[in-house]
Amino acid sequence: MKRGTTIYLYELAWILPSIALPVGMLVALAVTAFGAGIHLPSEVGRVNPLHVAATPPFDAPGVKQIAPGQYEVGMLAQIWSFTPGEIRVPAGSTVHFWVTSKDVVHGLFIPHANVNVMVLPGQIAHVEARFDRPGEYPMLCHEYCGIAHHTMAGKVIVEPRS
Residue ranges in contact with Cu ion by CB under 5 A: 106, 141, 145, 152
State in Å, rounded, how far the first CA of the chain is from the last one. 75
- Nearby residues of 123 by Cβ (< 8 Å), 6 or more positions away: 43, 45, 46, 47, 100
In whole angstroms, how close is the CB of 21 to Cu ion at the nearest point? 37
Query: In which region does residue 3 sit, left (phi positive, over 0), alpha (psi from -120 to 50) or beta (all else)?
Result: alpha
In whole angstroms, how close is the CB of 140 to Cu ion at the nearest point? 9
Closer to Cu ion by CB, 89 or 152: give it. Answer: 152
Closer to Cu ion by CB, 125 or 152: give it. Answer: 152
Distances (CA, A) of 82 to 11, 69, 103: 55, 23, 12
In whole angstroms, how close is the CB of 153 to Cu ion at the nearest point? 9
Closer to Cu ion by CB, 145 or 158: give it. Answer: 145
In whole angstroms, how close is the CB of 130 to Cu ion at the nearest point? 25
In whole angstroms, how close is the CB of 144 to Cu ion at the nearest point? 8
Closer to Cu ion by CB, 95 or 152: give it. Answer: 152
Q: Helix (H, G, I), strand (E, B), or coil: what is residue 26?
A: helix
Count the residues in the chain: 162
Closer to Cu ion by CB, 78 or 93: give it. Answer: 78
**Residue 150, class by beta-carbon neighbours within 10 Å (0-12 exposed, 13-18 middle, 19+ buried)?**
exposed
